A and B are shown apart, each in its own frame.
Chain A
Amino acid sequence: MWNKNPLEQTQRRITILFWIFLALLIVLSLRLWQLSVLERERYQLRSEQNRIRISPLSAPRGFIFDRNRQVLAEDLPNFTAVFVPGTVNLEEAISGLEQILGRTISTSPRERSSGEMVLVDNLTIEEVIRIEQAGEKLPGILIETFFARHYPLSEVTSHVVGYVGRVSAEELSQGKSADYSPDDFIGKNGVELFYEDILKGKKGYRRMEVNALGKVVSVLENVPPRFENSLVLTLDSEFQQFCYQLLEGKKGVILVGDPWTGEILVMVNRPAFDPNALSRGVTQEEWKEISLDPGFPLTNRAIQSLYPPGSLFKLLIAFSALEEGAVNEKSVFSCPGYLDYNDWRYWCWKRQGHGRVDLVSAIAQSCNVTFYNLGLAVGPDNIRNYAQQFYFGRPSGIDLPGEKNGFLPSPLWKRQNLGEFWFPGDTINLAIGQGYLLVTPFECWQMISLIATQGIKAKPHLLLKVLDAKGEEIWSFTPQIEDKIEAQPQTWNLIHQGMRQVVEQGTGYACRGLPVNGKTGTAQNPQGEDHSWFGGFFPREEPELAFLVLVEHGGDGSGEAAQLSRKIVEWWIKNRGGSE
């Protein structure tokens, strides 16, 4: 039906639609009138009789244990005075409670999802008894047991275990609302966050009938919360504590792990934070103080901070040069103390020179000139490829949130981002782990670990076992070989020899006499004193452990980092019956 004047007809249709809308609006208004005026008394009565309250009950979180079942995180009971809405108002209830307790309540009430207000946390047993005895004189007040997270080792395991906090508005609006109410705790960092879904228990709820004073008359239905799973971590908490003390008064990282299985035994960062305080809840000022602390106590430096690796990177350059055929066991270099290249003079750290050196002693002496030459022979793109094989700049897959990855520069990157060509000087810097290159301590630990196993890559992990509520093992980690770096046996051999010489005759003299293969590193730092690195593994054959020490502003690698490494290895041999 073709229409002569569609505009006019459409105009009529719009008018009709408007009347339909108006009818809808009138229906809604009438319904509102019906509910709030005509049936008001009925609903007001129902609202007064509405004494059935559903109260969700927060579930206790699972334990976190170390590998020897030492407790790293547990839930302690927290007795709380809760206001249940009834005929008394909140102010009356608070003043009544203040009289009984004999102190003023300074914190503002916190709402629970069911409509109850938490007035005071952390009541003592005596206070609980006093409130219970007051009984009818305190209408509307209930004692409830909540759980507070406690970390016995506090700062020592803070970065790995993490902490919990009350679920935030953001988390609630991001899809957690189904499982959490605003009063619940949720993992905020570390293992607590990463394994939140395993650690959180099963929530319960209670349907209660309350009398006119808001006191519970009867519990109609009680579905208690259920404690569910606990975690056993790969950490060795005694070893962790020892390493934590080693870094007393310093800033740095210690990592120790089994290179064959990827189990992390020690992950220590300093400065650290108090997870007990954070989990209890801190004020805005306290939070500001912690998060703006120039020492970055909240940062898990091991996986989140980037540093130049310094001479530690020479191991990777040696590997690349051997695999590319740029050097072999017979090659000899001469170090006059500097390298002249394109009108520039690049100095060795030892200005009087190392004289004639082969690859093994170049590693042992950490001779820069030799590595300048090797780096130039291999080239920046090859170096980048080999570094990626060693998992630099790639996610390690460790079970912690917020891992950062290192940065591997390349000529293409420099041209695109800085608009400059890649100069031979850039390669020379790269060859000694300086310049644009940045890595995380964990990536360095992985490189040491890959050298220890001669290329076998196990997936690094912190979770060893999952236990059910009865403590029975329901899951345990089976080591996974993720990857293997293929190389000639002689390549591994020469690098191992070089690392042995580091300890026996070279820059790692602090570890002399121990069955350790290692490498020192000194990362130049424009902001102050150099960072000191030491990475290694022991025993030399069949290595049990790979370790890495970083001391910020610790001077050169032969100093602080190597001295701490000696203590770490000695502790292990003494306390965990190391070999030899």
Chain B
Amino acid sequence: MDFKKPLVIAALVLSILGIFAVYSVDPFRGQGLVWSSFYGRQIIWCLVSWVWFLLIIRIDYQTLIKYGWWIYLLVIFSLIAVLIVGEVDETGSRRWIFSRSVQPSELAKIGFIIFLTRYLVQRVEEFDTWALFFKVAALGAIPTLLIFFQPDFGTAIFFVIISFLALVLSNFAVRRLLVILGMGVVASFISWFFLLDYQKERLLSFFAPQRDPLGSGYNVIQSLIAIGAGGLSGKGWLSGSQSQLQFLPARYTDFIFAAWCEQFGFLGGMALLVLFGVLIWSMFNIALECPNLEGKFLTSLLTWIFVFQIGINIGMNMGIMPVTGIPLPFISYGGSSLVVNLTAVGIIYNVAQSKGEEDWEPIL
């Protein structure tokens, strides 16, 4: 079966819905200035990143994997550069370069995954050995710590999770994986005592945002009310009893899912979840269908970029995850995340293009 079609269609429909979602909450919507509004910019970014996608799918993923070490060095270099010459954003983190247009930790996610793939598929004989675990831990720790000190905890945690998933794929025994998890918990407790006070403060407000009652706690309550008030079929396009969620801050970025659900209700929310489901289902099938180990690693790790963001963002909109400022792929306003997401989709597309086994029966 050809999984490229559902993959591209789901991504395309999601990015078009994203434009509508941003439009519906755009504070500059009524002003007639199309290109200086949020949705106008989203349209431009959408076009740019889909053109970019068409370029990406032409790059053979085997070539990317071949340059794995170089990509790793580039990732480290750019993260160091950010710490030295990076620009600070409103949250006080040093994440940006080139006048806040590029956030290297975003692209670093993909680079790191390419590197892990390259590193692990060359060490099949070492699978499920402590030696391999320590090597992966050491190589993963460098970029993770660099991101941790920006500080960008959300992305740092993503790096840890990706490294762990890479071990899962490397056939580590369940017992060993549990020991590793235990070591992780112990290590984080110990490192707590080495953190400076302001770093502890930031971590606490990351995991327990209700410490700031007028801040994100208020947002979550408004978000829950919006979703609940939407009911089964929603209040309709551009309307809502919360007057279009005008209570809701960051409604074109972090809380766009709630804004969507108020307008289109449970059915609209499910439509998004199903579309994300189709997208990720296609990715998993591409990974399963691919005949070689490197394709499988690359695709399934890239897939988790999406799983991670969707889980955290929608979870936080519904009050079951901490409020972390992680956007919803394709839907939230923002150009650089759109580019990164379509880069990942593009690489996966290329994996699917390199012909796999014909008789593969899809999962589900």
Contact = CB atoms under 8 A, between A and B. Distances in A.
A394 interface: no
Interface of A: 1-3, 6-7, 9-11, 13-15, 17-18, 21-22, 24-25, 28-29, 31-33, 35-37, 39-40, 42-44, 46-48, 50, 53-54, 85, 108-111, 113-116, 168-170, 173-179, 182, 284
B280 A176 contact: no
Contacts of B320: 31
Contact of B266 (A36, A53, A113): A36
A36 B318 CA distance: 10
A14 B232 contact: no
Given A17-B300, A32-B318, A177-B90, A108 B30 contact: yes
A6 B36 contact: no
Contact of B227 (A29, A35, A53, A109): A35
Interface in B231-260: 231-232, 241-247, 249
Interface stretch (B6-14, B122-130, B143-151): B122-130
A3 B33 contact: no
Contacts of A182: 27-28
B261 interface: yes
Contacts of B128: 1-3
10 contacts: A14-B288, A21-B284, A31-B315, A32-B270, A43-B225, A46-B229, A47-B229, A108-B30, A115-B247, A169-B38
Shortest 7 CB-CB contacts between residues of A and residues of B: A43-B228, A115-B246, A85-B243, A47-B229, A36-B266, A178-B90, A182-B27
Contacts of B37: 169
A175 B227 contact: no
A6 B246 contact: no
Contacts of A111: 27, 30, 246
B269 interface: yes
B315 to A, nearest CB: 7
A115 B276 CA distance: 30
A13 B225 contact: no
B184 interface: no
B54 to A, nearest CB: 26
B293 A6 contact: yes
Given A6-B293, A18-B284, A116 B246 contact: yes
B270 A169 contact: no
Contact of B231 (A6, A36, A54, A179): A36
Interface stretch (B75-83, B163-171, B339-347): B163-171
Contacts of A9: 171
B30 to A, nearest CB: 5
B307 A21 contact: yes
B266 A168 contact: no
Given A14-B296, A174-B100, A37 B129 contact: no
Given A21-B280, A31-B320, A32-B266, A14 B243 contact: no
Contact of A29 (B31, B226, B242, B270): B270
A79 to B, nearest CB: 21
A115 B248 CA distance: 8
Given A21-B284, A28-B315, A175-B100, 5 more contacts: A14-B287, A108-B30, A173-B41, A179-B90, A182-B28
Interface of B: 27-28, 30-33, 36-38, 41, 89-90, 100, 124-125, 127-129, 165, 168-171, 173, 224-232, 241-247, 249, 261, 265-266, 269-270, 273, 276-277, 280-281, 284, 287-288, 292-293, 296-297, 300, 303-304, 307, 311, 314-315, 318, 320, 333-334, 363-364
A28 B273 CA distance: 8
B28 A85 contact: no
B261 A36 contact: yes
B275 to A, nearest CB: 11
B296 to A, nearest CB: 6
A33 B266 contact: yes
Contacts of A178: 90
Given A13-B169, A36-B266, A175-B89, A47 B242 contact: yes
A510 to B, nearest CB: 47
A115 B37 CA distance: 17
A35 B241 contact: no
B363 to A, nearest CB: 6
Nearest to B226: A47
A48 B333 CA distance: 28
Contacts of A48: 241
B131 to A, nearest CB: 12
Contacts of A116: 246
Contacts of B318: 28, 31-32, 35
A47 B228 contact: yes
Nearest to A176: B90
A7 B288 CA distance: 10
Nearest to B266: A36
B89 to A, nearest CB: 5
A36 B90 contact: no
A28 B311 contact: yes
Contacts of B304: 17
Contacts of B333: 173
B247 A39 contact: no
A7, A111, A115, A179: which has the most chain B beta carbons within 10 Å?
Answer: A111
A113 B247 CA distance: 8
